[in-house]
Structure 1
Amino acid sequence: MVTSKLNYPLTATFRIVTLSPELQVKNASGDLVLQIKQKLLTLREDTTAYEDVNKTVPLYRMKADRISGFWAVHNFWRSKGETYLGSIRANGLRSIWRISYTVTDQNQKEIFRIREENPWIKLLDGLLCEIDGIGWIFGMFINPVYLVEDVSGRVLFRIKKKRSFWERSFTMEAEQKVSEEHQELAVLALAQSVLLERARG
């Protein structure tokens, strides 16, 4: 488990120009929490989360259950003992308007939902970024916020998207105390949703 390193806020970062999708999650002290690499040329998305930057110690695996990656259920496994932890799936229509994600535990029970705090911000973000040549400049100043809520609607984490010239980052702040098991799932859900949002734009 990575919970011993979960000193919030966490920051998940990926470079814009890269052949193979790779994501790095660090804690508030700048220590590496997970180094995440997505396999290339696979029919079903297959991602491994490592303990170290050199990717020698695998901790988790995140794999889609079907070829259509965005609408697939992405299952989480702990590498040691191949323990099933839970999953994340997208809900609703894939568009620049709004999307949400449902996170379940090992018993397929819903525990989190990730949604955009203000879908108008995401809409504006998507529209401006489509402007040829200058869209990315406007996009630098529009950063959507995502909420991680429990089944009662209580906000547990707040995720803010940030941009720079060479990379994108998502910062996750803890709003409530959460069990270690649910924190572990929240970090994996953060990583997988960032990869899905990366593909979404």
Structure 2
Amino acid sequence: MKDLKYPLHFQFKVTSFANDFVAKDAEGRTIFYVREKIFSWRDHIMVYRDESKSELVYELISNKLIDFQQTFTIKNAEGKVVGKARRKTIRSLWRSTFNLMDAEDVHDHTIKEKNPWTKFWDGLFGELPIIGMLSGYIFNPSYILRNDLDEPMFEIRKEASFFGRKFSVVKITDKEVDEERFVLSLMLMVLMVRSNG
């Protein structure tokens, strides 16, 4: 995963029963096609080179049957572990949080919701009859990926959309970063939090 042109754009397909989306770079080139396997005992996400699904390049597999402190292991096509991402649940009901680990299981980065009030107001507004359907245009959360020094590396933003199906990823650091692991972790997070905002 080299020479990515930012911002990246993730767009969900509304005509599919599966939870899947296309990832494109700033020039409109498809970089991945991401598909969550349905009817599976454990959450299993497959990342293909493109929409043809002819080349599987990564897999993200949950360690648990239910969404409770799940840890996803990210593997490349050769089965090598790229890293892990753990969704915090108990202590993060207020703010969506994902802890990122490297291939050696060392926690070194975190993805957190930028403004938890967005989730609160979206939940409240979304319960209103008829008007609540417009929440996807009004409440659009963003998330910041930070390193262990609390420096921001990436920001992912939900774009205004009736179906809540568009996200953009911006790189906000000039430092050398593990783009492969971070972009894959952001893809996972999008699948998990898509319904917020």
Using the size of structure 2 for normalisation, the TM-score is 0.91
Counterpart for residue 153 of structure 1: 150
Counterpart for residue 12 of structure 1: 10
The 8 Å contact of residues 17 and 166 in structure 1, kept in 2 or not, is answered as no
Within 1, Cα distance between the matches of 2:137 and 2:164? 11
Residue 46 to residue 92, structure 1, CA distance change in 2 (3 Å)? closer
SS across alignment from 1:140: helix
SS across alignment from 1:131: coil
Within 2, Cα distance between the matches of 1:97 and 1:136? 22
The one-letter amino acid paired with 2:11 is T
Within 2, Cα distance between the matches of 1:120 and 1:107? 35
How far is 1:73 from its partner?
Answer: 0.4
Counterpart for residue 56 of structure 2: 58
Within 1, Cα distance between the matches of 2:89 and 2:164? 27
Greater mean deviation of Cα atoms: 31-40 or 11-20: 11-20
How far is 1:195 from its partner?
Answer: 0.7
Within 1, Cα distance between the matches of 2:129 and 2:155? 31
Provide the identity percentage.
27
Counterpart for residue 66 of structure 2: 68
How far is 1:53 from its partner?
Answer: 1.2
- 1:111 paired to 2:108: yes
The one-letter amino acid paired with 1:51 is R
Using the size of structure 1 for normalisation, the TM-score is 0.90
The 8 Å contact of residues 136 and 163 in structure 2, kept in 1 or not, is answered as no
Within 2, Cα distance between the matches of 1:158 and 1:200? 16
Residue 200 to residue 18, structure 1, CA distance change in 2 (3 Å)? farther
Greater mean deviation of Cα atoms: 132-141 or 97-106: 132-141
Greater mean deviation of Cα atoms: 109-118 or 166-175: 166-175
Show structure 2 runs of 5+ residues with no match: none
Q: How many residues align?
A: 197
Within 1, Cα distance between the matches of 2:69 and 2:140? 24
Counterpart for residue 176 of structure 1: 173
Residue 154 to residue 184, structure 1, CA distance change in 2 (3 Å)? same
